[in-house]
Amino acid sequence: MQTTSAVQEQPPLATSTSHPKGLYVLFATEMWERFSYYGMRALLSLYMLKALLMNKEMSSLIYGNYTSLVYLTPLLGGYMADRYWGNRRSILVGGLLMAAGQFALFFSASMYQAGQTAVPSAQLLLFFLGLGCLIFGNGFFKPNISSMVGSLYPKGDSRIDAAYTIFYMGINLGAFFSPLVCGTLGDTGNPADFKWGFLAAGIGMLVGSLTFEMLKHKYVVTAEGAPLGAKPERTVDASPVVPVQTDGPVRSETIAQPAKSFASKLPMLIGLFAVVYAAIAWLMNKDWIGALVFSAMIVAPVTILTDPTLTSREKQKIYVIFILSFFVIFFWGTFEQAGASLTFFADEQTDRNLGSYVVPASYFQSANALFIIVFAPIFAVMWTWMGKRGTEPSSPLKMAISLMLMAVGYLIIAFGVKGVDANTKVSMFWLITMYMVHTFAELCLSPIGLALVNKLAPARFASLLMAVWFLATAAGNKLAGVLSGLYPPGPGEFAKASKEGIDLPGILNGTSQATADVSAKLTQLELAAHWPSFLGFQITSLYDFFMIFVGMSAVASVILFVIYKKLNTMMAEPVTAA
């Protein structure tokens, strides 16, 4: 922990019109982490399709499992930080693990041989090892750096909303440049080059970890100048320290107050998790990863709400977090198509020609980040302007608007592909316009949600409740992978079948019959002989596929519009007599 003399040497406190320098240290660290994550994500689906020789359904399944687990492990990271390690150590461990994961992907991609028809087991082993390191590394990194942003400010500081928007804008610099850098190096049309994109992502993660380690002692401090994120102190009974002011948004690691251990209820929680997990795995046809994510969504809230130190007022605020988390699932289930089905769409059915230059499909994943950089300041000014006039929408209302904007974005691209056959490529205008509208949706939800959790969470559960918020993102990402697997067969599948003399479009449309030999060959090629379906709705075109997201987002938005006033009441502080 920092000495007293060292604390006194800290920079002066931020004024009401400025932000502490620690904010910029945190978003610089997160910027490089996002460079690493989005650079790798821009290549992930393409690497599985073109180098690991997987089909779209399997690629979508792995993509959804990976991105969901990336947001599930913050439960572990948040708990370890709050109880044992503190934010600082957790961020360092997480950063190093993620760098190791990117380098494992680099070595996996380095094993690719041109023209290979089978994937070496070592290549697959390194691939899954890399994903595992990234999953656990992100778990230690993500909730801790996000929860530290609000802790830079005094309780009730009006700058917190703007701080999270600035933080969100800053980290998107990394998300913007990473697909361009990693895509230029890895998405060249030659699967052997994927390794260079993964290498760049690994180097970026090391830079982010080094940035935090070098600057944290000087700048990552509270408004009073005390160090943030140090290892929690313990009382003589070895109970971790929690803050006295349990309703405050700012965490404190320096006030000794024993916290009740979870040990007494641990057997009950383990038993509950086992029962819920088995039931969900059975309902999901032994989808073990999906069962893990959705079981955690049930057990984690129970773990928090059964804490005997919670007051009724604290519980009411936590209920708001949980309700909004449910709606967040539908947002991310539609938004996260960017790394899966929308990448397939960009690769196969988007006209990417700019004169003689063909834009890599991975570049389109920079569109969202670019629009955030452009529009985040505008949204921040807009919220401030409306707030001064008392017309700013509440956080739940902003989220309802966000979901409706998601529906509008998919309606735009659905209109662009309506009546277009699978062999026709459409203008990139439709994809870019959709990403712009989805960016508006994201700016109404994601930074607003982070600030909301920081405001409503009891301080002793700050990191853990931030992890629960990311858990909703995990469920949304899992849903995104499941829905991406419904992407209808297109030019790639038709060409693959045609090489074997199989009329796949005719079989799908019922104009040709698949013999036993043809069916066996399709199975061998990992091609389906029927159109995918969703809730009894057959998906025979991209228009059908995109309309699923229109309907899902619109329904969720309408429900949230109906209940947002009740949520406002639950969030509001009671009026005290003068």
pLDDT at 402 over 90: yes
Mean pLDDT of 82-108: 89
How is residue 517 written in tokens?
């030999």
- The reply to whether 409 and 549 lie within a common domain is yes
According to DSSP H, which parts of 340-427 are helical? 341-348, 367-388, 395-417
* Residue-level pLDDT at 1: 36
Nearest residue to 369 via CA among 450, 452, 466, 438:
438
- Distance, in Å, from the CA atom of 486 to the CA atom of 528, rounded to the nearest integer, reads 11
What confidence score (pLDDT) does residue 11 get?
A: 42
| pLDDT at position 380 | 80
The C-alpha atoms of residue 362 and residue 21 are separated, in whole angstroms, by: 34
Q: Does 75 share its domain with 201? A: yes
> Measured between alpha carbons, how far is residue 175 from residues 42, 91, 136, 201, 295 in Å?
10, 19, 20, 11, 30
Closest C-alpha to 213, from 130, 141, 150, 163 = 141
The proportion of the chain whose per-residue pLDDT surpasses 90, expressed as a percent, equals: 37
Does one domain contain both 302 and 321? Answer: no
Residues 202 and 168 in one domain: yes
pLDDT at 555: 96
Task: Round to whole Å and give the CA distance between 184 and 194.
Answer: 10
Per the domain annotation, does 1 fall within a domain? no
**Residue-wise over 58-82: b if at least 16 C-beta within 10 A, else e?**
ebbbbbbbbbbbbbbbbbebbbbbb
384 and 504 fall within a common domain:
no
pLDDT of residue 413: 95
CATH number reported for the structural domain that contains residue 85 in this entry? 1.20.1250.20
Domain annotation covers residue 417: yes
Residue 304 pLDDT: 83
The string of DSSP codes covering 220-286 is -B-TTSPBSSPPPPB-TT-PBB--S-TT-SS--SSS--B---SGGGHHHHHHHHHHHHHHHHHHTTS
Residue 110, phi then psi, degrees to nearest 5? -70, -15
CA 219 to chain centre: 27
Inform me whether the pLDDT recorded for 370 exceeds 70: yes
On the question of pLDDT at 254 being above 80, the answer is no
Lowest mean pLDDT segment, chosen from 184-188, 344-348, 449-453, 479-483: 449-453
Q: What is the C-alpha to C-alpha distance for residues 480 and 339, in angstroms, rounded to an integer?
A: 9
Q: What is the pLDDT of residue 554?
A: 97
What is the chain's mean pLDDT, rounded? 83
How high is the pLDDT of residue 239?
44
Q: How far apart are CA 423 and CA 494, in angstroms?
A: 9
First-residue to last-residue Cα distance in the chain? 42
Structure-token pair, residue 347? 């690769």
- pLDDT confidence of residue 249: 36
CB neighbours (10 Å) of residue 137? 27
Per-residue pLDDT at 17? 56
Question: Do 152 and 80 share a domain, yes or no?
Answer: yes
Which is more confident, 82 or 562? 562
Q: Which of 128, 141, 150, 147 is nearest to 65 (CA)?
A: 128
Range name among 161-175, 237-251, 286-300, 548-562 with the lowest pLDDT average: 237-251
Q: For residue 145, how many other CB atoms are within 10 A of its CB?
A: 27
Sign, CA torsion 70/72/76/79: positive
Mean pLDDT of 350-358: 90
Are 159 and 56 in the same domain? yes
Within a 13 Å sphere around the CA of 263, how many CA atoms are in the beta-carbon half? 7
Asked whether residue 11 is assigned to any structural domain, the reply reads no
pLDDT per position as a tens digit, 118-176: 889 999 999 999 999 999 998 888 777 777 777 787 776 767 767 777 777 777 788 89
- Which of the residue ranges 210-219, 309-318, 372-381, 416-425 would you say has the lowest mean pLDDT? 210-219
Residues 128 and 22 in one domain: yes
- Residue 251 predicted with pLDDT over 80: no
227 and 282 share one domain: no
pTM of the model: 0.82
Please tell me the distance from the alpha carbon of residue 60 to that of residue 68, in angstroms, as a whole number: 12
- Amino acid, single-letter form, for residue 343: T
What are φ and ψ of residue 350, in 5° steps? -115, 130
Residue 360 in any domain: the answer is yes
Q: Compute the distance between CA of residue 26 and CA of residue 208 in angstroms, rounded to an integer.
A: 10
Same domain, 325 and 380: yes
How many C-beta atoms lie closer than 10 Å to residue 4's C-beta? 7
Strands 537-538 and 533-534: antiparallel
Q: Of all residues in the chain, what percent are helix, strand and coil, respectively (each to 5)?
A: 70, 5, 25
Domain membership of residue 460 (yes or no) is: yes
Backbone dihedral angles phi then psi of residue 267, each to the nearest 5 degrees: -60, -40
- Check whether residue 318 and residue 296 sit in a common domain: no
Last residue of a domain, one of 213, 231, 249: 231
Token pair listed for 453: 């959790």
Model pLDDT, residue 262: 54
**Cβ neighbours of residue 215 closer than 8 Å, sequence gap 6 or more:** 25
What are the backbone angles phi and psi of residue 421, rounded to the nearest 5°? Answer: -80, 170
Q: What is the DSSP letter of 349?
A: S
pLDDT of residue 457: 84
Residue 462 maps to a domain? yes
Range of the domain at 297: 262-306
Pairing outcome for strands 537-538 and 426-427: unpaired
Run of H or E including 199? helix 194-219
Evaluate if residue 5 carries a pLDDT over 50: no
**Does residue 299 sit within a domain?**
yes
Does 4 fall in a domain?
Answer: no
Name which of 97-111, 485-499, 564-578 the model is least confident about.
564-578
Q: How confident is the model at residue 227 (pLDDT cuts 50, 70, 90)?
A: low
508 in the same domain as 466: no
- Domain count for the chain, please give it: 4
Contacts of 158 (CB under 8 A, 6+ apart): none
Give the torsion sign (CA, 336, 339, 344, 346): positive
Predicted local distance difference test score (pLDDT) of residue 46 = 93
Mean pLDDT of 313-330: 90
